[in-house]
Amino acid sequence: MSEFAIRAEGLWKGFRRSDKARDIGLKDALAQAASAPFRAMSRLGSGQSPFRRSAREKLWALSDVCFEIAQGEVVGLIGRNGAGKSTLLKVLSRIVEPTAGRALLRGRVGSLLEVGTGFHPELTGRENVYLNGTILGMGRREIQRKFDEIVGFAEMEQFIDMPVKQYSSGMYMRLAFAVAAHVEPEILFVDEALAVGDSNFQRKCIARMAEVGREGRTVVFVSHSMAAITRLCPRAILLDRGRVVADGSVAEVTTAYLRSDLGAVAHRLWPDAATAPGDHVVRLRSVGVIRHDGAFDATADIRRPVVLEMTYDVLQPGYAPIPNFHLYNEEGICVFVTADTDPEWRRRPKPVGRYVSRVTIVGDFLSEGTLVVDAAIRTIDPVAVHAHKREAVAFQVVDGIDGDSIRGDYGGALPGVVRPRLLWRTKLQEELPATAAPR
Amino acid sequence: MNKEQLRGDVRVVESTKGLRFVDPRELWRWRELFVALMVRDISVRYKQTAIGVAWVVIQPLATVVIFSFLLGRIGNVPTAGLPYPLFAFAAMVPWQVFSRAMLVGNVSLAGNRALITKAYFPRILLPAAAVFTGVVDFAFTFAILLGMMWWFGFVPGWRILLTPVLLLLTLLTSLGVALWFSALNALYRDVQVVLPFLTQVWLFLTPVLYPASVIPERWRALYAMNPMVTVTESFRWAMLGGAAVPEPLMLVISAVTMLATLLSGVAYFRYIERQMADRI
């Protein structure tokens, strides 16, 4: 292994509950300071240490975080909201200080935690490029050298001397990202907040990130997008409540993330009928994602079919409950809704009992990435939703690079809500004489 | 393993303890941001409104005109033979830089929350850039002062060469105060409310609209603890000559308090800096 670029040695970061300026005024602060000796005395009286703050006053955003990243590695940092991902990036970028422990960084650090940090609406695009570039650690001469390239990347040539307040949000993002994309540190921290904007733009951002990784720079990339992480980062680190809970190959870690209850599960059970989602007519008892070989699994090969299963109890006779699934992708777009159309139960009331409904989603249809599944049960007569469990289960569709999936030999980002296998036929219509076209 | 054992370009990120002053190498590395922030502050101010420029001039002029009528007419302000408007405006020039610096320095952190929580750079650059933009305001008011001197038939002597030094003193005094207030204001927003009142009181404790000589002898030492006392008096003396020469003892006292404010300001600022991004 080559030399480390980043080494975290037991990083801790704690916040006090009242650590926000808006929560506390100067008057309160003075009152607190004035009463501190008395509170210390009262702690003394109750046998506590007069100096130590009680531990429960602290919220630990990071606890004992250790890892090492080699030079040139591209690492994805994943975890649900509040797991400490952003705090970790902020500590490593020296925006906030760790409470304890330390990190060693070798090389110039660039942090892209937000697009357009310091952009001022009154200034022109040109002025903002200089200001933002300087904030990101570029020198004036470096910006001058790259200026045309930045403006070209953003496709903003004719608007560059307009105040930014007159830009559309798309233009703003393009320019801001263009600056960020031209920062060339040895270590780059990127927050997913960077990859906002329309999908076209997101692709451009991600392509650029991939390029940065290939240039041999060390990149730490925080994202919720499993597709982006799996494509960009060979290695991932999973954080939960401020701790490193998994660190390894991206496939292992993303699967761990999806399997554990940190993120989403492939199989969810409601053993207690009273608290299961539903009403007096139906109750959901379990929802699951089943792989082609019959096991519950949160990871699915894009080429294979996936089965969604729902178990539910019908508690009242005379109803015809119809189970249905709603699938959402990472961008929150509803990919499709599918309802039970089994002819055996069409318009037929279901007797009281436990039912299992399964639906097979064909292979070579879903796009890669995370799919979140809502499970619902409704009746048409009367029109009512009896059970609706949002984000009941989730799974990850993985598109390998074996060459026989729909992406073929193309390794880049492939947009689209679905990725169906469609029939292509090509034939030679007519042979043309070879021309010596000037090149 | 300690820092010394680590090879060359390794940076250590850890919690810092104790007093620290500025790290000159770090500041030098970020010098271009200092300039960029100043350019931003200046161009934003003068872009937003055409009144931007006028405002810088109107405010001190209005104060001087009002006091010319109030005090100048009554005629018992000992101006050492100088016309009262000129006497007052000359001191108003550095005062304006100071009061403005307090105002913008104070909000320089609270107003740049996004920068502080999303990017790393020495935070001290924010109040410093805000204070040093006062140079532009100074240029405008200074030009007005020269115009007034011409009108009243005053020719500046060699002492005008002292003005850059006095401007620097004004800026450093302002910086010391701004560091304290910006750091306090980052944590406790209500500091902002006190500031206009404080600025007003401070103006009356500074010999701008009256000469320092009206202060009884035994109070002078205490009076000089306000570093703006000697700055304004010296500036008036440098520009108009005829005014009283600042007393050496007062100069020393002012210099000491100025330095104390600046150093304690830096120390306090650096102390707050550790928790700034967490608490702002």
Domain holding A382: CATH number? 2.70.50.60
Residue A200 has pLDDT above 80, yes or no: no
CA A238 to chain centre: 12
Least confident of A32-41, A73-82, A407-416, B170-179: A32-41
Q: Using CA coordinates, name the residue in chain B closest to A29.
A: B188
3-state SS track over B8-20? CCEEEEECCCCCC
Last residue of a domain, one of A220, A235, A259: A259
Cα separation of A417 and B132, whole Å?
A: 54
Cα separation of B163 and B156, whole Å?
A: 11
Is A406 in the B-facing interface, judged by CB distances under 8 Å? no
For residue range A357-367, list pLDDT tens digits in order.
999 999 999 98
Is A175 in the B-facing interface, judged by CB distances under 8 Å? no
Domain-located, residue A39: no
Is A23 in the B-facing interface, judged by CB distances under 8 Å? no
Cα separation of A101 and A91, whole Å?
A: 11
| Pairing status of strand A282-290 against strand A267-269 | antiparallel
Q: What is the pLDDT of residue A202?
A: 64
Q: Do A102 and B13 touch (CB under 8 A)?
A: yes
Of A316, A322, A311, A295, nearest in space to A395 by CA: A295
Contact residues on chain A for B121, CB-CB shorter than 8 A: 135
Domain-located, residue B10: no
Domain-located, residue B147: yes
Residue B55 tokens read as: 């405002």
Least CB–CB distance from B40: residue in A25, A123, A140: A123
Residue A54 has pLDDT above 60, yes or no: no
Domain-located, residue A298: yes
Please state, as a whole number, how many other Cβ atoms lie within 10 Å of the Cβ of residue A241: 15
Q: Are A171 and A142 part of one and the same domain?
A: yes
Q: Are A107 and A216 part of one and the same domain?
A: yes
Least confident of A129-133, A319-323, B216-220: B216-220
Q: Are A273 and A359 part of one and the same domain?
A: yes
Last residue of a domain, one of A214, A231, A259: A259
Least confident of A54-68, A82-96, A232-246, B128-142: A54-68
- Angstroms from A405 CA to nearest CA on chain B: 40
Domain-located, residue B148: yes
3-state SS track over B59-79? HHHHHHHHHHHHHHHHCCCCC
Q: Are A367 and A345 part of one and the same domain?
A: yes
Domain-located, residue A237: yes
Element holding A203 (H helix, E strand):
helix A199-214
Domain-located, residue A44: no
Asked if B93 and B60 count as a contact pair (C-beta separation under 8 A), the reply is yes
Confidence of residue A28 (pLDDT cuts 50, 70, 90): low
For residue range B94-127, list pLDDT tens digits in order.
999 999 888 888 888 888 888 898 889 999 999 9
Domain-located, residue B12: no
Asked if A136 and A116 count as a contact pair (C-beta separation under 8 A), the reply is no
Residue A190 tokens read as: 């990127």
Domain holding A215: CATH number? 3.40.50.300
| Pairing status of strand A306-314 against strand A282-290 | antiparallel
Confidence of residue A1 (pLDDT cuts 50, 70, 90): very low
Domain-located, residue A437: no
Q: Using CA coordinates, name the residue in chain B closest to A190.
A: B118
Question: Which long-range CB contacts under 8 A does A225-229 form with residues at least 24 apart?
Answer: A225/A192, A225/A195, A225/A330, A225/A369, A225/A370, A226/A78, A226/A254, A226/A257, A226/A258, A226/A330, A226/A369, A226/A370, A226/A396, A227/A330, A227/A368, A227/A369, A227/A370, A228/A192, A228/A195, A229/A76, A229/A78, A229/A254
For residue range B240-253, list pLDDT tens digits in order.
876 566 678 888 88
Q: Are A243 and A273 part of one and the same domain?
A: no
Phi-psi region of A145 (alpha: psi -120 to 50; beta: other; left: phi over 0): alpha
Q: CA torsion B117→B119→B120→B126, rounded to 10°?
A: -80
For residue range B129-182, list pLDDT tens digits in order.
999 998 988 998 899 899 988 988 888 888 888 889 999 999 999 999 999 999
For the question of an ipTM over 0.85, the answer is: no
Q: Domain range spanning residue B124?
A: 21-70+79-279
Q: Are A76 and A167 part of one and the same domain?
A: yes
How many domains is chain A built from?
Answer: 2
A136 Cβ neighbours under 8 A, 6+ residues apart: A110, A111, A112, A117, A179, A180, A183, B119
Domain-located, residue A354: yes
Helices (H), chain B: 24-29, 31-48, 51-67, 73-74, 84-107, 113-118, 125-132, 134-151, 163-187, 191-204, 220-223, 227-240, 248-279
Q: Do B15 and A91 touch (CB under 8 A)?
A: no
Cα separation of A156 and A9, whole Å?
A: 44
Q: Helices A140-154 and B31-48 sit at what angle, rounded to 10 degrees?
A: 60
Q: Are A199 and A68 part of one and the same domain?
A: yes
User: Can you name the residues that pair with A74 across neighbouring β-strands?
Assistant: A219
Q: Do A114 and B9 touch (CB under 8 A)?
A: no
Interface of B with A in 170-189 (CB under 8 A): 184, 186-189
Residue A40 has pLDDT above 60, yes or no: no
Cα angle: A269, vertex A275, A277; to 5 degrees:
65
Cα angle: A423, vertex A428, A433; to 5 degrees:
155
Domain-located, residue A197: yes
Residue B1 has pLDDT above 50, yes or no: no
Domain-located, residue B123: yes
Domain-located, residue B119: yes
How many domains is chain B built from?
Answer: 1
Contact residues on chain B for A109, CB-CB shorter than 8 A: 11, 120
Interface of A with B in 81-140 (CB under 8 A): 90-107, 109, 111, 113-114, 117-118, 120, 122-123, 127, 130-131, 134-136, 139-140
Q: Are A189 and A273 part of one and the same domain?
A: no
Q: How far is CA A107 from CA A5, B7, B110, B119, B239, in A?
A: 7, 11, 31, 17, 52
Domain-located, residue B16: no
Contact residues on chain B for A141, CB-CB shorter than 8 A: none
Residue A205 has pLDDT above 80, yes or no: no
Q: Are A252 and A324 part of one and the same domain?
A: no
Q: In this structure, which amino acid lies at residue B67?
A: F
Last residue of a domain, one of A233, A259, A285: A259
Of all residues in chain A, what percent carry a pLDDT higher than 90? 32
Element holding A357 (H helix, E strand):
strand A353-361
Q: What is the pLDDT of residue A22?
A: 45
Q: Do B13 and A94 touch (CB under 8 A)?
A: yes
Interface of A with B in 134-153 (CB under 8 A): 134-136, 139-140
Q: Are A344 and A243 part of one and the same domain?
A: no
Q: Are A87 and A204 part of one and the same domain?
A: yes
Q: Are A338 and A197 part of one and the same domain?
A: no
Size of interface A-B (CB pairs under 8 A): 120
Cα separation of B114 and A246, whole Å?
A: 32
Domain-located, residue A403: no
Least confident of B53-57, B131-135, B162-166, B234-238: B53-57
Domain-located, residue B109: yes
Average of per-residue pLDDT across A322-328: 94
Is A22 in the B-facing interface, judged by CB distances under 8 Å? yes
Residue A335 has pLDDT above 90, yes or no: yes
A432 Cβ neighbours under 8 A, 6+ residues apart: none
Q: What is the pLDDT of residue B83?
A: 83
Cα separation of A102 and A92, whole Å?
A: 9
Specify the pTM: 0.72
For residue range A125-154, list pLDDT tens digits in order.
999 999 999 998 888 899 999 999 999 888
Q: Domain range spanning residue A283?
A: 267-398
Contact residues on chain B for A7, CB-CB shorter than 8 A: none
